[in-house]
Structure formats: structure tokens, C-alpha cells
């Protein structure tokens, strides 16, 4: 596999939305910090993608920020969950919160290990663990799994955001996320996930102990084990053709 710039990911878009000139292409690629090798990879990927006719790859920036939790400071008050749903749903419903608190409270490395509850808990070291969206780099499991392209990288934070206008409620993103961070609202039949509140995360502001922090993005997907074994994503052949340049 070719080494890719850590500040870039790949997003699938319609072939019609292509850069019109070489100058525009170089401008976008340069803004992402790609070097000479990166430009070569991107250029080849664009040619391969355009040959696939229906889909192509476009390099977009990784998220600029993310939310991380410090279990040593968390007291389990769950104010973050309340703030999240009041901001997004206009009501208090922790089950819809994009930040997950107390999921590991009764389980741990010395206790029962079942599904999502692989982690620290009262049978381990008595910590209450906050789970937050990793805002994954490429390949983004939830984004790749969506058959409607409903999960998008949205500026200014470039968080991976569910476009409710495109979401059909198939729950493929839930099955694909190895960290279980996608929620589903049965009342409106739509998926949702952390979108960083457009750069002003309400859960961070609501935390009374500073257990949640809004920090510059880094790849945290390898820092903690996956919570689930995700359902594999079977991309159409025309989409796979756009990946061969980077993925040997």
C-alpha cells in the first residue's frame, strides 16, 4: 500500500463533480499538504476513477478537530449526553446522544466481556468510560457502507456528518462502525453521529469536570480496540476500480 498523507482521506462522489482544470486540481491537492508522491497518486487515482465512469475518488482533508475523553475525570453525571440531545433533538434523550457514557461501567477486563462492553469497568479499575466518535480517516467505515452517500465530510471541521436528506434509515452505517458510535432515531427513521456541533461541541461545554476535551484531530482508531466486528462493506466494481492506485 502506498503511504498516504495523514491529512487526507478519500471520499466517493459522482464523476460529474470533477475538477475542471489542472490548476484547480493542484490548488486543492496543495491545500491538503500533498507532496510530489501524493500528487502522483492523486492524479493516477483521478484517471482510474474517471475511467470507471460512474464513481471517482476525491481527496478531502481529514477532520481538523475531535472530542476525546479522560476517564479519570469522568464522574458519570451524563450531562454531556443531555447537552448533546437537547442541542440536536431539542429534548433530553441520552439514548440518542453521540457521546456514550456508562457503556462499560458494569464490565471490564476482569469481568464479563460481551460485545460493546469490551473495556474498562467496575470489575477492572472502576472507571466510567466515555466513548466518542473517532472521526475516522480513510477508509471511513460508516461512509463507505452507506449506499446513498449520506455521510459526508463537512467544513469547517470536516467531521463525518449524516445528511438526513439522503439517509434512508437502512442502518448500514451502524453495522459498519467498529466502535458503535452511530445512533438511530426510530421516530424519524434516520441515523445520526457526532458532527462536532459545527465546531462548538455542546458536550464539552456541559462537562463540569473537564473530562471531555475538544482537541486537534489525530488518528485514534488504533488506540482502543474495536467494540464490534463490523459488517464488511462490498463496494460495487466501478467503485473498487477507483481504489486500486492506493490499495494494492
Q: pLDDT per residue over 142-171, tens digit each? A: 998 898 999 999 999 999 999 999 999 999
Question: Do 228 and 177 contact (CB within 8 A), yes or no?
Answer: yes
Percent with pLDDT over 90 in the chain: 43
Question: Average pLDDT for residues 34-51, to the nearest whole number?
Answer: 42
Q: Predicted confidence band at 20 (pLDDT cuts at 50, 70, 90)? A: very low
203: exposed, middle or buried (Cβ count in 10 Å: 0-12, 13-18, 19+): buried
pTM of full prediction above 0.85: no
Q: Residues with Cβ < 8 Å from 51, sequence gap 6 or more?
A: 241
Q: pLDDT per residue over 101-153, tens digit each? A: 866 555 544 444 444 444 555 555 566 778 899 999 988 889 988 989 999 99
d(CA 109, CA 95): 25
Question: Do 121 and 112 contact (CB within 8 A), yes or no?
Answer: no
d(CA 81, CA 86): 9
Beta strands in the chain (DSSP E): 8-14, 55-61, 65-69, 100-101, 130-131, 151-154, 159-162, 183-185, 190-192, 212-216
Domains with residue ranges and CATH for the chain: 8-62+235-240 (no CATH), 65-100+130-216 (3.30.70.20)
- For residue 244, the model assigns a pLDDT of 64
Q: Residues with Cβ < 8 Å from 75, sequence gap 6 or more?
A: 128, 208, 209, 211
Q: pLDDT per residue over 178-199, tens digit each? A: 888 999 999 999 999 999 999 9
Amino acid at each position: 500500500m502506498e503511504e498516504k498523507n495523514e491529512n487526507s482521506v478519500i471520499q466517493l462522489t459522482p464523476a460529474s463533480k470533477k475538477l475542471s482544470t489542472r490548476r484547480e486540481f493542484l490548488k486543492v491537492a496543495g491545500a491538503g499538504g500533498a507532496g510530489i508522491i501524493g500528487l502522483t497518486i492523486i492524479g493516477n487515482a483521478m484517471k482510474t476513477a474517471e475511467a470507471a465512469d460512474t464513481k471517482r475518488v476525491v481527496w478531502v482533508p481529514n477532520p481538523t478537530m475531535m472530542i476525546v475523553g479522560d476517564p479519570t475525570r469522568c464522574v458519570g453525571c451524563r450531562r454531556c449526553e443531555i447537552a448533546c440531545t437537547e442541542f440536536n433533538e431539542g429534548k433530553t434523550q441520552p439514548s440518542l446522544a453521540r457521546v456514550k457514557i456508562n457503556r462499560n461501567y458494569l464490565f471490564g477486563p476482569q469481568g464479563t466481556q460481551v460485545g460493546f462492553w469490551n473495556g474498562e469497568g467496575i470489575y477492572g479499575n472502576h472507571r466510567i468510560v466515555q466513548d466518542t466518535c473517532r472521526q475516522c480517516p480513510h477508509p471511513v467505515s460508516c461512509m463507505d457502507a452507506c449506499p446513498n452517500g449520506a455521510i459526508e465530510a463537512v467544513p469547517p471541521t470536516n467531521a463525518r456528518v449524516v445528511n438526513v436528506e439522503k439517509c434512508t434509515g437502512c442502518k448500514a452505517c451502524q453495522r459498519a462502525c467498529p466502535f458503535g458510535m452511530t445512533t438511530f432515531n426510530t421516530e424519524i427513521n434516520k441515523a445520526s453521529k457526532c458532527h462536532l456541533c459545527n465546531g462548538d461541541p455542546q458536550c464539552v461545554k456541559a462537562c463540569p469536570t473537564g473530562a471531555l476535551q475538544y482537541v486537534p484531530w489525530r488518528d485514534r482508531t488504533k488506540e482502543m480496540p474495536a467494540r464490534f466486528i463490523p459488517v464488511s462493506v462490498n463496494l460495487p466494481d466501478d467503485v473498487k476500480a477507483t481504489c486500486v492506485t492506493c490499495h494494492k
